């Protein structure tokens, strides 16, 4: 049996483009890897688009709403879970397009997603 030579033929990384408007109103178009099991909250942290300690305070458990964002375009994302819906019902600055970034996994389906980070509570 012959194994592929990954040094010569690396497995292609699959990234999607995501547009994030930070809390200062600055727009960032970032590459989001679909092969690392990340979510939008982790993406914001990885690119340092929010001050440390202001996003993902609960570690992505849908328990704090610090990663609340507004979905700005019509990209297919999963429905809200009961936990996410409950957390948003208690959060500040909630709009009809509010979601928790920690609950939106980075998958090929979110290519082109545009979000705006909600103000700090």
The answer to whether residue 75 sits within a structural domain is: yes
- 3 pLDDT band (50/70/90 cuts)? very low
For 55-65, how does the pLDDT look when each residue is reduced to its tens digit (9 = 90+)? 999 999 999 99
- Which CATH number characterizes residue 20's domain? 3.10.20.30
What pLDDT does 1 receive? 45
The answer to whether residue 4 sits within a structural domain is: no
**In the predicted structure, residue 25 carries a pLDDT above the cut 80:** yes
Euclidean distance between CA atoms 89 and 120, whole angstroms: 16
For 49-93, how does the pLDDT look when each residue is reduced to its tens digit (9 = 90+)? 999 999 999 999 999 999 999 999 999 999 999 999 999 999 999
The answer to whether residue 64 sits within a structural domain is: yes
The answer to whether residue 2 sits within a structural domain is: no
Give me the domain span that covers residue 29.
15-117
Which residues, listed in sequence order, are joined to residue 16 by a DSSP beta bridge?
Answer: 32
**In the predicted structure, residue 5 carries a pLDDT above the cut 50:** no
Contact 56, 42 (CB under 8 A): yes
What pLDDT does 30 receive? 98
Please give the tally of structural domains in the chain: 1
**In the predicted structure, residue 46 carries a pLDDT above the cut 70:** yes
The answer to whether residue 5 sits within a structural domain is: no
SS3 81: coil
**In the predicted structure, residue 11 carries a pLDDT above the cut 70:** no
The answer to whether residue 1 sits within a structural domain is: no
């Amino acid at each position: 049996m012959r194994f592929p030579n990954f040094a010569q033929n690396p497995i292609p990384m699959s990234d999607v483009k995501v547009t994030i408007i930070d809390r200062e109103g600055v727009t960032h178009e970032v590459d989001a890897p679909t092969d690392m099991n990340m979510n939008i909250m982790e993406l914001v942290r990885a690119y340092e688009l929010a001050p440390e300690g202001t996003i993902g305070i609960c570690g992505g458990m849908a328990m704090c709403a610090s990663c609340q964002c507004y979905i700005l375009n019509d990209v297919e994302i999963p429905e809200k879970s009961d936990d996410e819906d409950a957390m948003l019902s208690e959060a500040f600055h909630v709009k009809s397009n509010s979601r928790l970034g920690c609950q939106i996994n980075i998958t090929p389906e979110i290519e082109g997603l545009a979000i705006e980070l909600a103000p700090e509570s």
